[in-house]
Chains A and B, each alone.
Chain A
Amino acid sequence: MKPFDYIRAGDASEAVDAAADGATIIAGGTNLLDLMKHEVMAPGRLVDITRLDLKRIEDMDGGLRIGALVTNSDLAADMRVRRSWPALAQALLAGASGQLRNKASTGGNLLQRTRCYYFYDTAMPCNKRAPGSGCGAIGGATRLHAILGGSDACIATHPSDMAVGLTMLGAEVEIMGQGGATRRVPLTEFYRLPGDTPHIETVLEPGELITAVILPPPAAGAQTYRKVRDRASYAFALVSVAARLRLEEGRIAEAALAFGGIAPRPWRDAAAEELLCGEQPSEALFVRAADTLLQGAEAQEGNAFKIPLLRRTLTATLSQLWKESSQ
């Protein structure tokens, strides 16, 4: 690990000032320190935000305001979340391990970096780590890589389970800049696609601090999070689906879908959702939604399996919600 200076922020404005001055924010540290040990990230200064007052989950406008330092464990254990936003609790519980979830923060989880093997291996080219050096993954090992939303420069996936749940639920990110003013960005507009600048991953400006995530009021219908991975626990998603269906008189009145493991950001597809609305649920309809979603999917040898896997996972997830809604 490269040497760094360590400072502890006493309040949010201290953190924002330090970050604007070039310091890197550390929260749970479970992603940042891992990357610093590999020297994939080598900040000269760390600003520790763990003493800030951002650890509360508050009722707000019928929804919730989740402080950026709320741990993944505490959020998943919150009875309001378990009762009214179960897909979020399930997504959190499907991620990492008990120990990691006790440290992982809501803000840090959103900003965790990709698990692309070449991003981690400083001996390999990687446009995300070293812009302009090339992409080691294209033509290489791509089991964890994207089939949608990638570019010639980068096909990395965003690894978070939580972010997929939050995206399906329509969450927003609350961001504080210098001077203390805050703005809110819907999660669907928070992450950037790689294009030819894969090192720029979000709309955060240098020095901005995530202060909270805002959940809208609970939506009607049945919802769930399903994750497919190489082992039953403690592994990143190959494919995951967060879904909500609301049926009315035997027809789908509302559908919300988000996908993990397949794209550089939690993936939403309005056309697939629209295709479902107003229709009578059936396996054939679900397959058509999957086909719409997968239009334009581009696979490498190592991740081509994700196309049929995603089709089956979406169909199974929607069938489950349909069954639950009809009971």
Chain B
Amino acid sequence: MQITLNINREECPLDLDPRTTLLDALRNHLGQCGTKKGCDHGQCGACTVIVNGRRINSCLTLACMHEGDEITTIEGLGAPGALSALQGAFVRYDGFQCGYCTSGQICSATAMLDELREGWPSHVTKDLTGEAALSDAEIAERMSGNLCRCSAYPNIVAAIREVAEGEG
């Protein structure tokens, strides 16, 4: 079927089998391989992209369901020489080893900080109606949808904390 997707502020016409996930459309049809495929079943977060401002797993959604949506991938957040705040912090803090989970981590963290700004609570927020403090436990819980096989977690949390505090 013929569809057009808006990816990183660019209209991309595509001719796809309806079975194509958003993840496969990005990687196999548009050659945008920054978004990674880990499990392909919603269990690892490597495929995280931002759709209309919210992070989702691109492996568990069909490309054809996203006509008219604004899709942002790691390529749309920043580029060498013009890194986003989180991209820069991940480099400075060594927030990775092999780097496979990294694009998913950064897309996820980018949208997670927006959720925090909007006052969303999490599973570890003590006072549901109050403001969540930005503890390491809060960051870990909010980022639990992104696994890191290399277990770079301490540095990932440090990178995210720096960006979040820099804002505050």
**A-side interface residues toward B, CB under 8 Å?**
1, 3-6, 8, 26, 28-30, 33-34, 37, 46, 48, 50, 73, 76-77, 79, 82-83, 86, 89-90, 93-94, 96-100, 102-103, 232-234
Name the A residues within 8 Å of B48 (CB-CB): 99
Cβ-defined contact, A233 with B65, below 8 A: no
From B41, B60, B62, B129, give the contact of A82 (CB < 8 A).
B129
Cβ-defined contact, B57 with A37, below 8 A: no
B136 within 8 A of A: no
A120's closest neighbor in chain B, by CB?
Answer: B41
8 more contacts with CB within 8 A, not counting A98-B142, A98-B143, A103-B56, are: A5-B18, A34-B60, A37-B40, A46-B18, A79-B129, A100-B57, A233-B123, A233-B144
From B41, B65, B111, B146, give the contact of A48 (CB < 8 A).
B65
Name the B residues within 8 Å of A96 (CB-CB): 145
Name the B residues within 8 Å of A30 (CB-CB): 42, 57, 60-61
Give B53 Cβ to nearest chain A Cβ, in Å.
10
User: Could you list 13 A-B pairs, sorted by A, with CB under 8 Å?
Assistant: A3-B19, A28-B61, A30-B57, A30-B60, A90-B123, A93-B121, A93-B125, A97-B146, A98-B108, A98-B145, A100-B60, A100-B145, A103-B57
A97's closest neighbor in chain B, by CB?
Answer: B145
5 closest pairs, A vs B, by CB?
Answer: A97-B145, A233-B144, A6-B18, A93-B123, A234-B144
Q: Which of B101-129 contact A (CB under 8 A)?
A: 108, 111-112, 115, 118-123, 125, 128-129
Cβ-defined contact, A93 with B62, below 8 A: no
Cβ-defined contact, B1 with A94, below 8 A: no
Cβ-defined contact, B121 with A34, below 8 A: no
Cβ-defined contact, A97 with B45, below 8 A: yes
Q: Which of B128-156 contact A (CB under 8 A)?
A: 128-129, 140-146
CA distance A26 to B143 in the complex (A): 26
B27 within 8 A of A: no
From A5, A33, A89, give the contact of B121 (CB < 8 A).
A89
Name the B residues within 8 Å of A233 (CB-CB): 123, 140-141, 144
**B-side interface residues toward A, CB under 8 Å?**
1, 17-19, 21, 40-42, 45, 48, 54-57, 60-62, 64-65, 108, 111-112, 115, 118-123, 125, 128-129, 140-146
CA distance A296 to B29 in the complex (A): 55
Name the B residues within 8 Å of A5 (CB-CB): 18
A2's closest neighbor in chain B, by CB?
Answer: B19
Name the B residues within 8 Å of A50 (CB-CB): 65
Name the A residues within 8 Å of B21 (CB-CB): 33
Give B138 Cβ to nearest chain A Cβ, in Å.
12
From B17, B18, B62, B108, give the contact of A99 (CB < 8 A).
B108
Cβ-defined contact, B45 with A99, below 8 A: yes
Give B20 Cβ to nearest chain A Cβ, in Å.
10
Cβ-defined contact, A29 with B112, below 8 A: no
Cβ-defined contact, A83 with B65, below 8 A: no
Name the B residues within 8 Å of A82 (CB-CB): 121, 128-129
Cβ-defined contact, B119 with A77, below 8 A: yes
A1's closest neighbor in chain B, by CB?
Answer: B19
From A33, A98, A232, give the contact of B115 (CB < 8 A).
A98
Name the A residues within 8 Å of B61 (CB-CB): 28-30, 33, 103
Name the A residues within 8 Å of B111 (CB-CB): 98
Give B7 Cβ to nearest chain A Cβ, in Å.
18
CA distance A291 to B27 in the complex (A): 54
A71's closest neighbor in chain B, by CB?
Answer: B54
Name the B residues within 8 Å of A33 (CB-CB): 21, 60-62
Give A81 Cβ to nearest chain B Cβ, in Å.
9
